[in-house]
Each structure stands twice: as structure tokens, then as C-alpha cells.
Structure 1
Amino acid sequence: MRRVQRRFSLRSFMERVRLAGTEQSGRVRVTAHAADLRPRLRKASEELVESLRQGRRPASISSVITSLAVLLMALGRMEFTEELPLPPLSASFSGSEDAEDPAEVLDMPLEMPGEQQLQPTDQPVETPPPELAETVPPPESLPEPEVDLQVPESEEPAAEPVAEAPALPESPVGTAPAVSKSAGAALAESRSGAARQQMLMKYGGTAGSESAVSRALEWLAGRQRPDGSWDFADVGPCSSPGKISNPIGGTAYALLPFLAAGNTHKVGQWKPQVQAGLQYLTRVGISVPAGYDLRGVLNQRDDDPEPNYAYYVQGAAVLALCEAYGMTGDRQLRPVCEAAVRFLVNSQDPRGGGWRYVPQQAGSTSCTAIQVMALKAAEKAGIAIPDAVWRGVGLYLDSVAVDGEGRYG
């Protein structure tokens, strides 16, 4: 046999060495403990540390971004609140802790005449003897006001009086004397009987105008609610109802024509309607440190948080109450009248002297006018008005006068 001699090739040698290494690696035995073969669960924090240790930048960046996103979402859902104390002046117009819930007040039955009872106060005041009732002025703190009126027959119960604000102390520098029977009688007589006929003849009243007044009062009486109130939005079958729902304002403005026609809670064709409306006003207001709040802001039934009609309502309610008090001299009306007047006095703009939509705001002519009418009615009824109030009114009117010719804007 012939033997063939091959040349040495480096390439062939290296290939043979590589193949030999592969065969040896296949024969290596791997030894491991049983615990090493079990799957190991790592926490998220351990995974993050391990990825950072091994230099896995994508994993670390993703984890940081995820953490920041979770933190931002949590901050977005958090609510931060801070309680700021009200200034002493503004706080005096807030409802007191003892104030009645208006919703609960409206659901209470209206008391019948002879069944009204005075609720106890912190400092009860003894009732003066009958012979001194007309000569001794009322004390500074009286039991809650109630109106001793007759209730019109109704199938639905109305509401019971609540505690009213304390009486307004008479100022020693006020402009009005104590109320007297003669002053109230003179005011009532001017709106009824022979005095009324003289006024009609003097200013052009006719049988037709009186008939129109009578029909208008009859319509108003038909729109009165069982609790004694009226509302602008309740016009029955008539078209174009009002959009403002404020029973205090509706009641005040509805009472004024009855009073102007000589009807009170003691005399007149519409006596039951007048007494029910007065009872409503004396129980539905809110007693606050500043006085008796009749703006109707807390009693309103619409969604306006700061209605601009607030002091048009307060002024009309004070005007109606003081007119009724002045026409009858009913001492049971005096405490609520004084407290409501005190609320007006405290609401006056201390710088400009007028009234507007919120307490002590710079005045407007229309809003100031209704407050002045209410204060003049109170003064005629014998409730003292501080001289500073009238000076403020004069200051305001001078500031809005046009050309000094009696025009105001």
C-alpha cells in the first residue's frame, strides 16, 4: 500500500483544535443544589436595585418615570383646604349657631290666636303692669316677638314662630320719641274712613280707581299660600311668572298694598290675610348678631349665591312690619321691628352712607331709597334711628346729585 504524505497545514490544525474543544465542552458536568433550581421571587425594589447594579439604563429610566407619574396622579386627586376666619364685621352678618333651619321653620304649624306662647330666653324680662304698659318703654331685651293675630281658616297647617333677634336699644341721640297710640291711630285713620275719602278727592281718586284696587287686593289674597307667604314665581293661571323665588320678598311687597288700603291685622276686610303675612315675616327671618336678617338669602329657592335683590327684600320687609306697627301700635311687633331696623343700620356703608347688594357695600340710589323708606316708617312708628344714619344718607345723596338740581344718578 502506498503511503501518501500530506503537507502540514496550519489551517487544518486549527480546525482540528476547535473541534476537539467542542467535544470536551459537551462532556462538562454541571452540579447545582436543589435550592438553586427553585424560582426566586424578587420585590420591585430589589429588581430596581439589580437593574441599576447591572447598568440596565432603560429599566431604571422607565421605573423612575412610572414613579413620577404615580406621584403626579396622587397630587392631582388631593384637595388642600384652609379655613380663613371671617373679619369681625362680616362675621356679624353670618347665621348664629342658634338660628333655626329655614326648611324646618316652614314645616311647622302656624299657631292659632290665644295659643301663642313665648319661648324662654337667656335673660327673661318681667312683663310690666297693665297700667304702665303705655308709659314705660320696652326694655333692651324682650322675649321673642309674636303677633297676636287671627289665622285664616286653612286646610293646610302653616308654621310656628321661632326665636327672634333681641330688641334694638333706643339711642339717646335718636330722632324719634317712644311710640304712642295717637301716632299709630293717626297713621291708620289717614288710610281709612273719612280721611281716606278726603285724600281720594284731593288727589283724583274715583270709584273706578277704588274698584281696581279692590279687585287687585282680591287677586293677591287668592295667591297667598297656606303658610301666609306670597312668592314672585307663583302667579296662578296668569302668564309670565317671575323668575325670582324669594317668599320673604314676595310677602313684603304683597302686604304693602293691603296696608296702604287701610287693612291691618286688627281691622279691615283683609285682616286675616294681613295677619298671616305678618306672622310669616316675624318667624321666617334669621337672627344674627347684626340684627334680624330678612334679606331672604338663606330662605331663597333659586340658585343665585349672591342675589342682588337682597336689600330690596330687607327694606320692603322692614317697611311692611313698621307700617303695620305704626298703624296699630301693637307692642308685640316692636321687638322684631327694632331688630330688623338694627340690621339695616349695621348694613349701611360706613364710608359712603348708602346701601347696595351686600352689607356695607358702596351704595346705589335705588337700593338706598328703599332702605330710607323703611327707616322713615320705623321713625314714624316711634323707633329711634341714630342721627349718624341720617347724616350718612345725606352724604350719599350729595355724592350722587347731578348739577345740584335735585336729580340723582
Structure 2
Amino acid sequence: MVKKTLKDIDVKGKTVLVRVDYNVPMQDGKITDENRIIQSLETLNYLMSQDAKIVLFAHLGKIKEEADKAKNDLAPVAKCLGEILNKEILFSTETRGKELEMAVKNLKPQEILMVQNTRYEDLDGKKESKNDPELGKYWASLGDVFVNDAFGTAHRAHASNVGIASNLDSAVGFLVEKELKYIGGAVDQPQRPFVAILGGAKVSDKIKVIENLLPKADHVIIGGGMAYTFLKAQGKEVGKSLLEEDRIQLAKELLEKAGDKLVLPVDIRVADDFSNDANTQVVSVDEIPVDWEGLDCGPASLEKFAAILKDAKTVVWNGPMGVFEMPTFAKGTNGVCEILAGLDDATTIVGGGDSAAAVAQLGYEDKFTHISTGGGASLAYLEGSPLPGIEAIADK
């Protein structure tokens, strides 16, 4: 996808509509992780340096009923952005109408206006989430050009990305450009050896990713809950571990097709209860007790993974190796994180979501080449699925 980037369009002195991903975690009205806001600053600072008048569109949470509006109000996000930039951020409490139109019209160069949560429009027939053409056209009428810098919503066709882009000259912002460069480059033109590490609960969540990456990667390491479906497909006892019975045949077919390329754990940390305080033991994958469940991979598995990864030049990691939310079962996920953090000569990419959370918990953000801001979007990209929010942007 060779799309226009921010420096391919003239933004000097223009009113620039920017879709950002400010769907940040909130607790008691306070933002608990500012990373998505910080990731947008490169684009915003560039636009300000060009004397652009900036109008920000973003969503926060889901709006299913009137009561959801108060807890998903973007005003605290605007305040946080202002504190980070040390600058007043203007705020429109409306998503359409005279107040918004006048606020945009009165903008001066370098000023930033944030529009209220785009999903407020979902109370009236899901107009944002279903990409209502009239809404996209209306929002587009407010500006001169459109910049999509929200990779986290790129796998969705919404009025605030696809709708606006369909009606204006458009480009991707610096953050989206970076996401496409690293994730797209890793999948389509990797330096080899190329290793993919896929974790998470279910095979069904990652089927397309496995199928897309198997022909491209030198190794695909499988961990997390979905490993037990593959172990069962090999005829092993998995006890009370997470198992997708209806995916066993598919797992068999993938194992046959992949051969040595698909790498499974060799030992498992099992527990007698789904609890951080459960009794645990580490057993071979051939010796999982009938009444116990696997909740993490064991140390021998990490050694096996490390041996494969030590020569890797490109690594993509998506999904935890166990129930990492419980410290007792976070050793596999943390271990993979530490192995990747120690690879000095490799391009290491984390595909958002739980993997990115694990990297942040361990304080290893600076040790990775790229940490994606979009879990669902990066997963779709790894699957080879279309990203409507990017496809709608003008080609170079």
C-alpha cells in the first residue's frame, strides 16, 4: 500500500482534520496510560510547525445508551493533551452543528480543536460505526485536508476515517506511516531468519495469522492457551487446559503442512486451580495430569525459543505465552519479552494488545524496534486482511 504520507500533501495554513486514536484507559475520570496521546505528538507538532489549524477526531469507549456519554466524554483527554503540549486545547462539546462549525471557522494557525467523542453519533443509528455517508461528508466539509493517524481503528470502516477520507484529499500521519513500515515490512520483506511468536487464548483468533505467516516465516512459535489444541492434535493429554475441540483437525492439518517450522512448548506450568495461589508444577508436555490445567509454558520451552530466536533478524510477537495477568503464570510471557529485549541485531516488533502491555510492565519499551498502538489493526495486518481506514487514503 503506497499511500500519501503527511509530507506528500500541502498543509500550510490549512484546516487539517486529523483522526487520532485517543481511546485511552480511564479510571475515575483520570487517564491511566497516556501512550496513545504521546504517539500522536509527532504529527501534531509538524502540523503546528506548518501553521495548520488542527481539528482532532477521536472516539473513547462504546456509546450504547445515553448514560455511556458521561463516562466516555473526551474533555479529560483534551485536558491531558493540553498539559502534555503545554498549550490550550479548544474543545467542542458537540459532534455536529453551529457550535462546532463556528469553533472550526474561528481557529487560528497552530490552534488545536478537539471534537467530542465521535461515537456519540452511534446513539442515532450507529452513524459513526456504520460509516454513515452523510456524516462522513459533513465532517469532511469542516476542513481542507484529512490526515489519518489512528492505526488502532484502521481495521474499521467508520465515518471518522473512511467517511472523511472519501470526501477530502488525504494522507496518513507519521504514526500510521511507521506502523505500515514496520509491520508491513516485517511481513512482506523481512530480513531473515524471520520468526513469528503467536500467543493468546484461542487458535480461532489466530488462524488467519498462522496461515498467512507460515509460508513467510522461518519459524512460527506457538504459545498461550492455543498451544493446547495443537498438543491435543499431536495426541497428547492436556488435562483441564483450554481446548478448542472443533479446531483439533485444523491444528493437525497446520502441523502436517508446517513440519518443523511450527514450534510448540516442550514443558508446561500446570495448576490445580485457575488461581494465582493454586498449587503448581512444571511438567513435560507428555505428562500433563488429567485434573490439572496448563497456564504457562515452562523453562525448557523458553530455552528452546531462545535457541531459535538468537539468530533471528526479524521477530513479530503477538499474544502472551500464558495467563500473564497472574504473576505466577507470567514467567513465559516475561521470559519471551526478556529474550527479545536482548536481541541487539534484530528488528523486533510487538503487535499491540497484551504483548505490548507485558513489554510496558517490564519497562522494556526502549528495547524494541516498534510497539504497535493497535492490537486489532496489527492482528488484521498480520492476517493479510484489508485495513479500510488505510485503503481509503489517497494513493501517492
TM-score normalised by structure 2 residue count: 0.23
TM-score normalised by structure 1 residue count: 0.22
Max radius of gyration: which structure?
1
* Larger strand proportion of the pair: 2
